[in-house]
Amino acid sequence: MTDLIAAARRWVGGDPDPVTREALQAIISSPDLGELEKAMGEPLTFGTAGIRGEVGPGSGRMNRATVIRVTRGLADHLLAKHGGPPERAVALGFDARPDSRTFAEDTAGVLAAAGIGVRFFPDVTPTPLVAFAAKALHAPAAVVITASHNPPADNGYKVYDGNAAQIIPPTDIEIAEAISMVGPASAVGRVEGVFSGSSPLVTPMPEDVFDAYAREVTEARPNPQTSDLAVVYTPLHGVGGDSLLRMCLIAGHTGLIPVAEQSRPDGAFPTVKFPNPEEPGALDMALDLARKVRADLLIANDPDADRLAVAVPLQGDWRLLTGNELGALLGDYVLRYWKHPQPPIVVNSVVSSPMLGRIAAERGAVHEATLTGFKWIINAGLALEEKGEGRFAFGYEEALGFSVGRTVRDKDGIGAAIVMADLAAEEARAGRGVMDRLHDLWDRVGLWVSAQQSIVREGAEGRDELLSAVDRVGSGPPDVIGGVEVTEVTDYRVGEERRPVWLGRQDLIELTLGSRGRVLVRPSGTEPKLKIYVDLSGEPDDDHEQAHRRLSEEARSLAVEVGEWLGL
């Protein structure tokens, strides 16, 4: 504990922010050693998603000192990579969380002090628009201050590489090493007041960036439709509302009905405990409105608008579509109207359903699976394009991330929402609904369902327990799960030299259940959880939804059985 107190005092001495400096000093003086452990016990580390964590004082939390040191490391990386300040400016945006604008201005100030130009969005901005700007302006890097769909207490720092995709190794390692060489934040050079014009290196983003984005989204639409369908929409207090409304008007979808209480950006998220559209209860307010107005469709973005959730009316109530169901629907829609002379390339994460691969095979598309994370999906697509195997058409991950076409080299909840509205409008013109289209897919490539089981273990000991569980699956997998034979075991912790870089080493075990499906076991990369994924295939009967419920229950039972087999 003496070492921890000494580290905390050093952090206080190097923190340029009087608010967090005083807060950490108060923690040092307090008898609450647990709070000191949270603040200083395990520093936030920079990885392939940048950094993300709870806002507060100390090296283990997001604060101005953390942001300043990380940015200086990024600056040093860019200076080394380009042999001096890059010719073009870094793209910068931020979300609506309370500290985001301050963190963004500190980021711009540090970059400017290093001689690096910055083009920043003056107001809160969807993450996909920042990623698009990075591509359109050929930026050497981009930074978004956002914690996406994390709890209200969090914030984060997301970095894009010079190819406008999220960073992957070795770039993340190089930046992390550069950060480790940075001294106290108070010693880092920083130009203050840069958003008010104090540095000629820091200038607002061109106003026509959204227009360029809108043009590319429009061009990527597989089969543009117009409609006055009643579409309930919530950005969950995030930053996507204005952009989504503008895109709907441009696209010709005039029936958008916002959830008024959640429409304006508010980083306190007053109506939801956890602003993640996947979390139970997050969409209750939108679903209530959809029932009240008898809507035709419900769409939702997460707070930084890079994810898309969808619900549809079914049998007198509403049904939330899973990320895998949306991936199948959108992927098939893109392939159905593919017109480019080059073959379409579709990519999904390895933990996403095999269903897209079946659709791709039927439609003659190139299909690839990657490690979890959209950084791998996009970089795989770019690499396959470079090899001449086709043209990137669609990518998705089961956690509600979708990218249609080549507009944004990341997931884009706004562009995907427009394509979803097109799909719904097309079905409505034929007197059908979205679920009819999904049922058609089940008839063509088989009924696929997915289930997840998450097992939480907190702390370092918990992390070791979860990794030991993965070891048990890899070293002595079960022969049978739920009466279904395990026909093959793939251990992604080994053999990476025989796989492409986007399917490299990961703490992941896959158990193949013959033609019935598979089970995957892996620890979460961002949470203290072991995740068990089950994907099962079956034949739909005349009642598609009844068959879906029956197979889904079997998948859930298998996930629970695997957890019990692991003794967790």
On whether both 414 and 274 belong to a single domain, the answer is yes
Same domain, 455 and 417: no
Tell me the pLDDT band of 38, cut-offs 50, 70 and 90.
Answer: confident
Question: Do 167 and 285 belong to one domain?
Answer: no
pLDDT at 464: 81
pLDDT score, position 457: 84
Q: Is there a domain that residue 25 lies in?
A: no
Indicate the number of domains in the chain. Answer: 3
Give the confidence band of 155 by pLDDT, cuts at 50, 70, 90. Answer: very high
Question: Among 105-109, 124-128, 535-539, whose mean pLDDT is lowest?
Answer: 535-539
What are phi and psi for residue 11, nearest 5 degrees? -65, -45
Using one digit for the tens of pLDDT, what is the confidence trace for 447-456?
999 999 988 8
Whether residues 180 and 317 fall in one domain: no
Pairwise pLDDT comparison (160 vs 566), residue with the higher score: 160
How far is Cα 323 from Cα 310, in angstroms, rounded to an integer? 9
Please determine, for residue 314, whether its predicted confidence score (pLDDT) is greater than 70: yes
Query: Which pLDDT tens digit goes with each residue over 322-354?
Result: 999 999 999 999 999 999 999 999 999 999 999
pLDDT in the model for residue 535: 97
**Tokens 């809160």 identify what position?**
124
Average pLDDT over residues 102-117: 98
Say what the pTM is: 0.95
Q: Smallest Cα–Cα separation from 137: which of 91, 68, 197, 74? A: 91
Supply the CATH number for residue 305's domain.
3.40.120.10
Residue that finishes a domain, picked among 445, 479, 494: 445
Domain match, 259 and 312 both: yes
C-alpha span between 557 and 447 (Å, rounded): 17
Q: Sorting pLDDT into bands at 50, 70 and 90, what band is 526? A: low
- Exposed/middle/buried for residue 29 (C-beta within 10 Å: 0-12, 13-18, 19+): exposed
Helix/strand/coil for 232: strand
**Could you tell me the CA-to-CA distances from 555 to 88, 97, 250, 552, 560 in Å, in that order?**
50, 38, 42, 5, 9
Same domain, 544 and 452: yes
> Domain for residue 374, yes or no?
yes
Look at residue 298 in the predicted model and tell me its pLDDT: 98
Beta bridge partner(s), residue 312: 319
17 belongs to a structural domain: no
Choose the final residue of a domain: 445, 465, 482. Answer: 445
- Same domain? For 84 and 163 the reply is yes
Please check whether residues 51 and 132 belong to one and the same domain.
Answer: yes
Average pLDDT over residues 262-280: 94
Residue 48 has pLDDT above 90, yes or no: no
Residue 260 pLDDT more than 80? yes
The answer to whether residues 354 and 431 belong to one domain is yes
Q: Which of 550, 549, 551 is nearest to 535 (CA)?
A: 551
Is residue 161 scored above 70 in pLDDT? yes
Residue 153 lies in a domain: yes
The pLDDT tens digits for 455-498 are 888 777 777 888 888 898 988 999 999 899 999 999 999 999 99
Residues 100 and 237 in one domain: no
Q: Which domain holds residue 101?
A: 44-207
What is the spatial distance between Cα 134 and Cα 115, in angstroms, rounded to a whole number? 19
- Which residues have a catalytic role annotated? 148
* Cβ atoms 429, 230 nearer than 8 A: no
Q: Is residue 3 part of a domain?
A: no
Q: Which two tokens stand for residue 199?
A: 């540095």
Asked if the structure places residue 83 within a domain, the reply is: yes
Average pLDDT over residues 126-143: 98
In a domain, 19, yes or no: no
Do 482 and 418 belong to one domain? Answer: no
Q: State residue 525's pLDDT score.
A: 67
What's the confidence (pLDDT) of residue 430?
A: 97
Q: How confident is the model at residue 540 (pLDDT cuts 50, 70, 90)?
A: confident
Residue 4 lies in a domain: no
What is the CATH number for 477? 3.30.310.50
- Residue 201 shares a structural domain with residue 308: no
Q: Does the pLDDT at position 35 exceed 90?
A: no
Domain stops at, among 415, 445, 475: 445
